[in-house]
Amino acid sequence: MLLKITDLKKQFNGQQILNGIDLSINKGEVVVIIGPSGSGKTTLLRNLNFLEQADSGLMEFAGEKINLAQATKSEIQMVRRKTAMVFQNYNLFKNKTAQENIAEGLIYGHGENAKTANQKAVQALKNLGLDKRKDYYPSQLSGGQQQRIGIARATVLNPEIILFDEPTSALDPELVGTVLKDIQQLAEQGQTMIVVTHQMWFARNVASRVLFFADGEIIESGTPVQIFEHPQKQRTKQFLNALADNY
């Protein structure tokens, strides 16, 4: 087991947003989280890399046991070095070029020397077919290009787990496919990941496990077939029916 979360709880302003999450993930697993807006999916991801600090809960990761509410600076740093996150609105560094965006984490997060870091960054851009854009700043790149670079910025670090928070929901429809294919390819290479998405075909086709999330809890968890074809819980059925009505 790569990551195990036990009884993670988080409140905002006295409101329980995450209500005791238990979750374990094996190496190579692709866990896709689906669920209604406001149910706490983003909050869960942000608690995993300490962009928010949980009120209580336990994390077992990379051989360490971490009390989520009282994580030390070095524990937080360790977790962040072994994970990476891809954001809904990309969050590429505006004052850095495409290449620098990718190299920066290697240099300043992982202590690699600038030369190898830049070589890796250029290689990553080549793999995306974006090497001609290496000196472009984010404001000169399309949303799709930015997000693909955002993914490269994460993968180049060789993280144990990548957290994707709705990586395609800010993209124009015709770009969604390209970016999801990048992620699918990563998944096929064995990259462990947690993906929050509203793209059901991705959940069906790429997930090794689907979690249905509502009201701060994991309502139901299973293979894509179990969740999409044979949902057990009323709440899951409602959600999937409502989605079906929209198409």
Q: Distances from the Cα of 136 to the Cαs of 123, 125, 126, 151, in angstroms?
A: 16, 12, 14, 16
Q: Does 104 participate in binding other proteins (rule CB under 8 A)?
A: yes
Alpha-carbon gap, residue 136 to 220, rounded angstroms? 43
Considering only residues 29 through 58, tell me which ones interact with ligand ATP, judged by CB under 6 A.
37-43
- Bridge partners of residue 246, in order along the sequence: none
> For Mg ion, which residue of 39, 42, 97, 168 counts as binding (CB under 5 A)?
42
> For ligand ATP, which residue of 12, 93, 108, 201 counts as binding (CB under 6 A)?
12
Q: How many residues does the chain have?
A: 247
Do residues 199 and 246 make contact, with C-beta atoms less than 8 angstroms apart?
no
x-or-dash string of contact with ligand ATP, 185-214, rule CB under 6 A = ------------------------------
The helix, strand and coil proportions of the chain, stated in percent and rounded to the nearest 5, come to: 45, 25, 30
> For other proteins, which residue of 38, 109, 129, 190 counts as binding (CB under 8 A)?
109
CA dihedral sign, ordered 91, 93, 97, 103: negative
x-or-dash string of contact with Mg ion, 2-41, rule CB under 5 A = ----------------------------------------
Site size for ligand ATP (CB under 6 A):
10
What does DSSP assign to residue 91? Answer: -
Considering only residues 141 through 160, tell me which ones interact with other proteins, judged by CB under 8 A.
153-154, 157
Residue ranges in contact with ligand ATP by CB under 6 A: 12-13, 17, 37-43
